[in-house]
């Protein structure tokens, strides 16, 4: 990543033969953490280091802002739009059968806050989103997001359609889908399929300390399956029941790779370099339906700082509003053009 910044390498005009893929975890409102990490990458001038972005649920929506160069403005949504009752309203579950209003987010809020669908369609970095088929006969688990605006809206709604919380399943190309996190919450395996030589995984939470699946509470064991079965059918209910175990398998496999206990092989038939950026253990992580402004802003800040720490860049800090700063940056509200030369000259500023 840093070498590509130094050399001025850009998507479609590479000076190396690597294929660097970014895999972004979601997690509902916990996606503020991964959104903060993407914000830091953007402001540090490292967007052009990636060839493909793969996201799940909120990670795919944050990825859409990132590939269009709008990551900073996208992060603002967490404490201006997504924390409002217009988007998250628990009382709406009984009235309308959902807590989150995805239609409001995708079809109103993004447009109102200046998201450029045209930039997404024309982006030089393709974005792909994971989905979970509602039909057991449908093998489709991954969509390219930016083929056209209407398709992009449908895919982003589908990848974030968490059963019950986000209402009924969504149609894409005449098939129904639910949240991609039900089958691949951390899309590092899908990232391998894009001829990857390197994969950077963006996590919105850490690994389970005990290396064991987290037990479900009574509400998750009893009430949720009934509601899912009534709204989505038997197959989706089974998928939801198995999602926690799938998540554990996915993350433990990733942990094994990061610890050198396993070696993933990419489509080139050779080992792939994989690394991950994980929020520090002391981070006060938002839950899936968090609406507290301070918690969400702290999560954004923690995510951005985690990325700076991962890159081992000294002198950089994250302000609460949330922007990356450096004492040598010549502007107050930092822009990529102000920070990227400092990052490129990291030999003088890194530990």
Predicted confidence (pLDDT) per residue in 55-69, tens digit: 999 999 999 999 999
pLDDT at 300 over 70: yes
Residue 333 has pLDDT above 80, yes or no: no
User: Is it the case that residue 347 has pLDDT exceeding 70?
Assistant: no
The C-alpha angle 180, 185, 187, rounded to 5 degrees, equals: 90
Residue ranges of E strands in the chain: 20-24, 52-56, 127-133, 142-144, 170-172, 175-179, 198-202, 273-277, 317-318, 324-325
Percent of the chain with pLDDT over 90: 62
Percent of the chain at pLDDT > 70 equals: 92
| pLDDT band per the 50, 70, 90 thresholds, residue 351 | very low
Whether the per-residue pLDDT at 123 is higher than 50: the answer is yes
Per mean pLDDT, which of 143-147, 269-273, 318-322 is the most reliable?
A: 143-147
Residue 186 pLDDT exceeds 90: yes
- The mean per-residue pLDDT over the stretch 331-343 comes to 71
Looking at the chain, how many residues does it have? 351
- pLDDT on residue 212: 58
pLDDT of residue 221: 62
Radius of gyration for the alpha carbons in the chain, expressed in angstroms and rounded: 19
Of the candidates 291, 343, 333, 285, the one whose C-alpha atom is nearest the C-alpha of residue 313 is: 343
Q: What is the pLDDT of residue 326?
A: 77
Q: Helix, strand or coil for residue 14?
A: coil
pLDDT tens, position by position, 215-231: 555 655 666 777 888 88
Q: Is the pLDDT of residue 97 over 80?
A: no
Tell me which of 73 and 2 has the higher pLDDT. 2
Judged against a pLDDT cut of 90, whether residue 23 lies above it is answered with yes
**pLDDT value at 338 more than 70:** yes
Q: In this predicted model, what pLDDT tens digit does every residue of 242-290 receive, in sequence order?
A: 888 899 999 999 999 999 999 888 777 788 999 999 999 888 899 888 9
**What is Dmax (Cα atoms) for the chain?**
60
Cα–Cα distance, 12 to 333 (Å, whole number): 30
Give the pLDDT score at 331: 57
Q: Can you give the pLDDT at residue 218?
A: 60
* 307 has a pLDDT exceeding 50: yes
In angstroms, the CA 321 to CA 300 distance is 9
pLDDT at 337: 74
Residues 164 and 227 sit within 8 Å (Cβ to Cβ)? yes
Mean pLDDT of 156-161: 97
Q: Are 71 and 36 in contact (CB under 8 A)?
A: no
Which of 252-256, 317-321, 335-339: highest mean pLDDT? 252-256
Cα–Cα dist 41/203, whole Å:
14
Name the 3-class secondary structure at 202.
strand
pLDDT, one tens digit per residue, over 232-242 is: 889 998 998 88
Mean pLDDT of the chain: 89
Greater model confidence, 211 or 4? 4
Measuring CA to CA, how many Å separate 48 from each of 8, 70, 114, 120, 311?
Answer: 9, 13, 22, 15, 16
State residue 210's pLDDT score.
66
Rounded (10°) angle between helices 31-43 and 58-67: 10
Contact 102, 88 (CB under 8 A): no
């Amino acid at each position: 990543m840093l070498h590509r910044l130094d050399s001025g390498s850009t998507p479609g005009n590479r000076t190396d033969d690597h294929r660097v893929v970014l895999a972004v975890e979601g997690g509902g409102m916990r996606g503020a953490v991964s959104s903060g990490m993407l914000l830091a990458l953007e402001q540090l001038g490292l967007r052009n280091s990636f060839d493909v972005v793969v996201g799940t649920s909120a990670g795919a929506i944050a990825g859409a802002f990132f590939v269009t160069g709008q990551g900073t403005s996208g992060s603002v949504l967490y404490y201006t739009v997504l924390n409002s009752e217009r988007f998250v309203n628990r009382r709406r579950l009984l009235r309308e059968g959902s807590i989150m209003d995805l239609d409001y987010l995708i079809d109103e809020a993004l447009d109102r806050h200046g998201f450029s669908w045209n930039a997404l369609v024309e982006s030089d970095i393709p974005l792909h989103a994971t989905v979970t088929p509602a039909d057991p006969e449908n093998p489709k688990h991954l969509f390219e997001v930016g083929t056209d605006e209407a398709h992009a809206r449908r895919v982003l709604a589908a990848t974030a359609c968490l059963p019950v919380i986000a209402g009924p399943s969504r149609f894409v190309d005449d098939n129904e889908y639910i949240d991609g996190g039900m089958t691949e919450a951390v899309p590092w395996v899908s990232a391998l399929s894009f001829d990857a030589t390197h994969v950077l995984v963006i996590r919105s939470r850490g690994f389970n300390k005990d290396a064991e699946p987290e037990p479900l509470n009574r509400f998750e064991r009893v009430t949720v399956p009934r509601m899912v079965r009534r709204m989505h059918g038997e197959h989706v209910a089974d998928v939801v029941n198995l999602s926690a175990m799938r998540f554990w398998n996915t993350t433990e496999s990733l942990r094994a790779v990061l610890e050198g206990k396993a070696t993933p092989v990419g489509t080139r038939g050779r080992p792939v370099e994989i690394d991950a950026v994980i929020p520090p253990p002391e981070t006060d992580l938002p839950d899936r339906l968090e609406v507290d402004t301070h918690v969400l802003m702290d999560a954004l800040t923690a995510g951005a700082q985690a990325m700076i720490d991962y890159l081992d860049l000294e002198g950089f800090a994250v302000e609460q509003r949330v922007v990356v700063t450096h004492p040598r940056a010549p502007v107050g509200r930092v822009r990529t053009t102000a920070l990227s030369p400092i990052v490129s000259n990291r030999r003088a500023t890194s530990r």
